[in-house]
Amino acid sequence: MGKTTGFMEYPRAEDPFRGEKERLNDFEELHVRQGRTPRREQASRCMNCGVPFCQSDYGCPLHNLIPEWNDLLYKGFEKEALERLLETAPFPEFTGRVCPALCEKACNLASDGVTNRDNELYLIETGFEKGWIRPRIPAFRSGKRVAVVGSGPSGLASADLLNRLGHSVSVFERADRPGGLLTYGIPNMKLPKSAVSRRVSLMEEEGVRFVTDTEAGPEDLEDFDAVLLCGGARKARALNVSHADAEGVCFAVPYLSEATRALLSGREPAVCARGKHVVVVGGGDTGNDCVGTALRQGCASITQLEMMPAPPESRAKNNPWPEWPRTLRTDYGQLEAIFVQGSDPRIYETTVKEIAADDQNRVTSVVTVRLERDAQGKLSPKAGSERELPCDLMLIAAGFVGCDESTLRRFALTADARGRLLPQDGTHRLGEKLFSAGDMRTGQSLVVRALADGRAAAREIDARLKANK
C-alpha cells in the first residue's frame, strides 16, 4: 500500500476551482491542477483495502486497478503508475475531468474517499507533457474491417480497442468533428476540446480512420466485416405543455452544442442567453452545464427547476455505504449562479405547468407548479402553488428516452420500450454482423459506463471475427 498512515495524516483535498469571478469570463478549464507533491500526498491516502470496492462494480465500471496505481504514484513511479492505469482506462483525460467518480463514493474512507479522479488526470496529463504517450501501432493486422457508427465515448473506446486488436477500424460521425457527446455535449470548461482532438489525432496515428459529416447507413457499410452502432441516446424527453414549440424553447444538448461550435469558430452563437431570463428544466449534470453556459453568455437571470426534493446535506441513515450518497451537491454552475445572483438557482419539487408565448409564438414566461407526493408516493401538482417566471429562453434538460428515430429507420431496427437497442440475450449483437454499444444499447448513462460498454462490445466483435476466420 501507500503510506501506512497517509489517510490519517492528510485530509482529502481536491483540485480547487478557479475563482468564480475569473472563470465566468471565459470557457477555460474550471479547476487548477495541483502538482506532484499534493498528488503524492493524496495517493498516499489509499489504504490498499482487503476488499477494494473502488475497483468493483460498486465503484469503477472499467475496473481500474486503483490501489495499485495510487501506490505507484505515492512512491514516485509516475510512468509505471500511468502504465497500470492505461491497462484498463482508455481515456483518463476524459474520465479525469467528467466522471462523477463512483470509485470515490465506494472508497472505504466513505465521504473522505481518495481523490482518484484528480490522481488519474494528473497521471495522464503528466504522460502527455513528458512524451510518455506515443502512438501504439498494432504489430499485425487481421485483415478484418470494422465500422463504428458514432464517435462518442463508446464509439471511441470500441474503435481504440478494436484497432489495438489488429482490425482495421473506420469511425463514421455525422457531425463535423469526432467526439460526439465529448465534443458537442459537454462544455469546454468541463472538457477542453483540445483534449478530445489530441486523442483523436493520436488514434489516427495508430491507424483509426475517421469519416466526419457522414450519416452512415447499411449501403455505406456493406464491405465491412462488422458494424457497431454507437449513436447514443439522442432522443430528448420533451415537455407535454402548451407552447412547447415556441421560439426560445430549446433542448439542452443542441444549445450546448451550438455554444461549443460558436466558441471553436470564434463567432456569436445562434442561440444565446445574453440579456435573457433563462429557465432550465432539469436538475442534473446537463442542466448544471446549461446554467454555467448561460452565465458565461451573460444572461439576465437564471432559474433551474428540479422535480425531485432537495437531498439532505449529508449522508442519510437509510443510505448505507458503499451506495451512491444521496446528498446535496452544489456543482460549478450553481456555485457561479450563487456568486452572480446571491442565491442557489434551483427550485426543488417544481415543474412546468405551462409556457406563455406572444402572438409571434415567442416564449415570454413560464408558469411553474409545486409537486407533492400522495400516500402511494405518486407526484402530483399542488393546488394554488402556481408561480409565473419571466422567460426569454427555456432550456430543457429533462433526460433522454432512447436512440433517435433516424437510426432505427436507416437500419430497419426496432427499439425496446425504453428506446434501447438491447438484445434480449444481453449481448451486443443485433444481427449477423451488426452490434450496438453505449447509451444506444443501455439507455442514458455515464461517460465511464459508455467507455466500458464500448470496450465490451469490441471484445465481443473480436471473438466473433476470430471465430469466422
Q: What is the pLDDT along the chain (469 residues), one digit of tens a residue?
A: 668 899 999 999 999 999 999 999 999 999 999 999 999 999 999 987 888 999 998 899 999 999 999 999 999 999 999 999 999 999 999 999 999 999 999 999 988 999 999 999 999 999 999 999 999 999 999 999 999 999 999 999 999 999 999 999 999 999 999 999 999 999 999 999 999 999 999 999 999 999 999 999 999 999 999 999 999 999 999 999 999 999 999 999 999 999 999 999 999 999 999 999 999 999 999 999 999 999 999 999 999 999 988 887 766 555 666 667 777 889 999 999 999 999 999 999 999 999 999 999 999 999 999 999 888 878 889 999 999 999 999 999 999 999 999 999 999 999 999 999 999 899 999 999 999 999 999 999 999 999 999 999 999 999 999 998 7
Predicted TM-score (pTM) of this structure:
0.95
Beta strands across the sheet bearing 226-229: 209-211, 168-172, 145-149, 226-229, 434-436
Contact 379, 373 (CB under 8 A): yes
Strand partners, 281: 305, 396
Closest CA to 30 of 251, 296, 259, 258: 296
Closest CA to 326 of 337, 336, 338, 313: 313
> Reduced to 3 states, what is the DSSP secondary structure of residue 158?
helix
Strand partners, 240: none
Instruction: Identify the DSSP state of 247.
Output: B
Closest CA to 67 of 51, 90, 86, 91: 51
Domains of the chain: 6-129 (1.10.1060.10), 145-234+401-467 (3.50.50.60), 249-396 (3.50.50.60)
State the cell numbers at 20.
468564480
